[in-house]
């Protein structure tokens, strides 16, 4: 049976690897080797792309390649490049597509480090970063011009939990001949089929739901296969022009890979192995994350001590209809609540016993953080408000524990307020 015909769960377990022909090993071996030995003619051929192979793990590694093939299969995409973190994925895409004098159009509702990457790092490199309201489709259209290189947004804003209409924004970007780049960390390919939403390039922090256990920092870029690279190279950085000139439609991926190897944003083989194991159980875990989060959000939404509860699955959420359409009636594992003051928020966090105070997300464990003075400490009050971050806001990454135990922990922590 051809792998393309497999269902999502079968691809998550089998794509990218067949049992080792020498040993029969059913798990992808961890190729813990910096370099790979070849005769000089073969080494030259691999370097020049005339023969497949590996020569140095900064530029490519068999364990990492297996994860890349599996992620490609999950997205039914053109190819994938794994990198050292989710942030590295975004930076690699940026370095490949844009150069000084260009502009990029970016949704305001972003993870704190991503906001700082665009606002504090990329904007100082001669790039005009144009922030727009993430759900305002007309705002994207108004911000685009001939020097716009790409549009970037998060599938669900972190931690605002707003949900942009991805298909509509993709249509805007494509009308200008530029790619739509979407970070799908909160939804994963299980909740969002990127091609059908018009996403050209996926960035994802594999650290989160894909790996699952809070075990390994990693990231990935997936080319969904929608974008026609030869059409977009006229004003592109040389690294992209060269790659597309040499490899055509595969040039986008080749350029991402070149940037990864050149900047050293490589994923360790051990982390790729751990992520591969996590991916095998992605759908089972995501279903539980979603059901637990819905239960937690429903509980918090009716609690008198909670002033605001945000979860795209609640029918009162402003973007509930868009989320329902885009994500197949599943809404992810992230919930936020507001408690009226920073003091009350910290008292609540200190009272939790099962739920841990931690900045990661997508773990089997339920995690809580007050992001304003941690993840978003560098933002002004105005910037934080635009990102939906407040002193009294708590972000919950709802894990896989018993729903009853989570509700009980929330109940006793709210009682101390």
Partner 1 sequence: MAKVVINGEEKTVNATSITELLTEESVKMPDMVSVQCNDKMLNRADFDVTLIQDGDVIEFLYFMGGGH
Query: Binding residues for partner 1, per CB under 8 A?
Result: 3-4, 15-16, 45, 49-54, 60, 65-73, 76-82, 245-250, 253-254, 256-257
CA angle 82, 75, 130 (to 5 degrees): 70
How do 393-397 and 367-369 pair as beta strands? antiparallel
Instruction: Tell me the β-bridge partners of 104.
Output: 129
In angstroms, the CA 244 to CA 255 distance is: 8
Please report how close the Cβ of residue 29 comes to partner 1 at its closest, in angstroms: 16
Of 102, 195, 196, the closest CA to residue 146 belongs to 102
Nearer to partner 1, 273 or 327 (CB): 273
Cβ-based nearer residue to partner 1, 147 or 246: 246
Between the CA of residue 88 and those of 13, 43, 253, 331, 361, what are the distances in Å?
Answer: 26, 28, 15, 26, 17
Q: Which of 399, 397, 203, 383 is nearest to 285 (CA)?
A: 399
Q: How many alpha carbons fall within 13 Å on the CB side of residue 210?
A: 31
Q: Cβ of residue 24: shortest distance to partner 1, in angstroms?
A: 20
Q: Which is nearer to partner 1, 16 or 179 (CB)?
A: 16
Question: Closest approach of Cβ 269 to partner 1, in Å?
Answer: 14
Q: How many other C-beta atoms can be found within 10 angstroms of the C-beta atom of residue 404?
A: 9
Rank residues 254 and 375 by Cβ distance to partner 1 and give the closer one.
254
Nearer to partner 1, 3 or 126 (CB): 3
Could you tell me the two tokens for 120? 């504090």
Give whichever of 71 and 170 is closer to partner 1, judged by the CB atom.
71
Q: How far is the CB of 197 from partner 1 (least distance, A)?
A: 19
CB nearer to partner 1: give 69 or 298. Answer: 69
Residue 34 beta carbon to partner 1: minimum distance, rounded to whole angstroms? 17
Q: Which is nearer to partner 1, 49 or 120 (CB)?
A: 49
- Assign 54 to helix, strand or coil: coil
Burial of 191 (0-12, 13-18, 19+ CB in 10 A): buried
Taking the C-alpha atoms of residue 319 and residue 330, their distance in angstroms, rounded to an integer, is: 13
Quote the least distance from Cβ 395 to partner 1, whole Å.
Answer: 32
DSSP string, 197-216: HT-SEEEEETTTTTT-SS--
The distance from CA 269 to its chain's CA centroid, rounded to whole angstroms, is 20
Find the shortest distance in angstroms from Cβ 283 to partner 1: 18
CA distance 63 to 74: 17
Q: What DSSP state is assigned to residue 183? A: E
Give me the least distance between CB of 166 and partner 1, in Å please.
Answer: 23
Task: Look up residue 333 and give its two tokens.
Answer: 């594992």
Quickly list H helices, 136-182: 137-143, 166-175
Which residue, 225 or 333, has its beta carbon nearer to partner 1? 225
Smallest distance, partner 1 to C-beta of residue 66, A: 7
């Amino acid at each position: 049976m051809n792998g393309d015909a497999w269902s999502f769960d079968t691809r998550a377990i089998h794509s990218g690897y067949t049992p080792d022909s020498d040993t029969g090993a059913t798990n992808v071996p961890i190729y813990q080797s910096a370099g790979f030995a070849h005769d000089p003619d073969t080494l030259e051929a691999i370097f020049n792309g005339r023969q497949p192979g590996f020569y140095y793990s900064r530029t490519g590694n068999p364990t990492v390649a297996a994860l890349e093939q599996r992620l490609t299969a999950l997205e039914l995409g053109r190819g994938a490049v794994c990198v050292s973190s989710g942030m590295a994925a975004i930076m690699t895409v940026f370095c490949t597509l844009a150069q000084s004098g260009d502009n990029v159009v970016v949704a305001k509702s972003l993870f704190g480090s991503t906001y700082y990457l665009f606002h504090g790092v990329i904007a100082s490199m001669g790039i005009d970063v144009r922030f727009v309201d993430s759900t305002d489709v007309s705002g994207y259209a108004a911000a685009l011009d001939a020097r716009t290189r790409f549009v970037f947004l998060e599938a669900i804003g972190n931690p605002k939990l707003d949900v942009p209409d991805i298909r509509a924004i993709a249509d805007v970007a494509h009308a200008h001949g530029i790619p739509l780049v979407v970070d799908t960390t909160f939804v994963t390919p299980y909740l969002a089929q990127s091609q059908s939403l018009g996403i050209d390039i996926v960035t994802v922090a594999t650290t989160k739901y894909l790996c699952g256990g809070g075990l390994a920092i990693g990231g990935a870029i997936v080319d969904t296969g929608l974008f026609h690279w030869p059409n977009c190279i006229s004003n592109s950085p040389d690294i992209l022009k060269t790659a597309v000139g040499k490899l055509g439609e595969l040039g986008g991926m080749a350029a991402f890979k070149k940037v990864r190897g050149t900047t050293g944003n490589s994923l360790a083989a051990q982390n790729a192995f751990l992520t591969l194991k996590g991916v095998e159980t992605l759908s089972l875990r995501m279903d539980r994350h979603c059901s637990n989060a819905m239960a937690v959000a429903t509980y918090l939404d009716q609690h008198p001590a909670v002033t605001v509860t945000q979860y795209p699955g609640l029918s009162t959420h402003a973007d509930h209809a868009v989320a329902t359409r885009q994500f197949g009636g599943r809404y992810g594992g992230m919930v936020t609540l507001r408690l009226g003051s920073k003091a009350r928020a910290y008292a609540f966090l200190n009272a939790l016993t099962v739920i841990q105070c931690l900045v990661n997300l997508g773990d089997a464990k339920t995690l809580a953080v007050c992001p304003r003075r941690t993840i978003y400490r560098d933002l002004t009050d105005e910037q934080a408000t635009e990102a939906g971050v407040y002193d009294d806001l708590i972000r919950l990454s709802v894990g896989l524990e018993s729903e009853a135990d989570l509700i009980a922990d929330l109940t006793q922590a709210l009682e101390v307020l």
